[in-house]
């Protein structure tokens, strides 16, 4: 038996939201600012990167493809 005035044993605190979801929204807000201040640069030749990759389109096209990769572990 609970002590008088003790209330429920596990009241279930209010949860502000899923931490993973909050981290994703923070990343979505900060990524454009980061890309403005530090634009992506190709890691191979130093040219401007393509989209969110740190590779230019030319270097990405020249990378060898692994066509005989394992479907499970790549």
Q: Which residues pair with 48 in a beta bridge?
A: 41
Q: What is the pTM of this model?
A: 0.47
Give yes or no for a contact between 43 and 55, defined as CB atoms under 8 angstroms apart.
yes
Could you tell me the CA-to-CA distances from 11 to 7, 8, 14, 15 in Å, in that order?
8, 6, 9, 12
Give yes or no for a contact between 59 and 44, defined as CB atoms under 8 angstroms apart.
yes
> So where are the chain's domains?
40-74
Could you tell me the CA-to-CA distances from 72 to 66, 67, 69 in Å, in that order?
14, 13, 9
pLDDT higher than 70, residue 14: no
40-67 per-position pLDDT tens digit: 889 999 998 887 788 999 999 999 988 8
């Amino acid at each position: 038996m609970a002590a008088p005035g003790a209330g429920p044993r596990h009241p279930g605190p209010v949860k502000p939201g899923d931490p993973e979801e909050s981290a994703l929204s923070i990343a979505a807000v900060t990524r454009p600012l980061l890309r403005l201040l530090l634009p992506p640069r190709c890691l191979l030749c130093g040219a401007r990167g393509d989209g969110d990759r740190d590779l230019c389109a030319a270097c990405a096209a020249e990378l060898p493809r692994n066509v005989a990769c394992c479907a499970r572990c790549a």
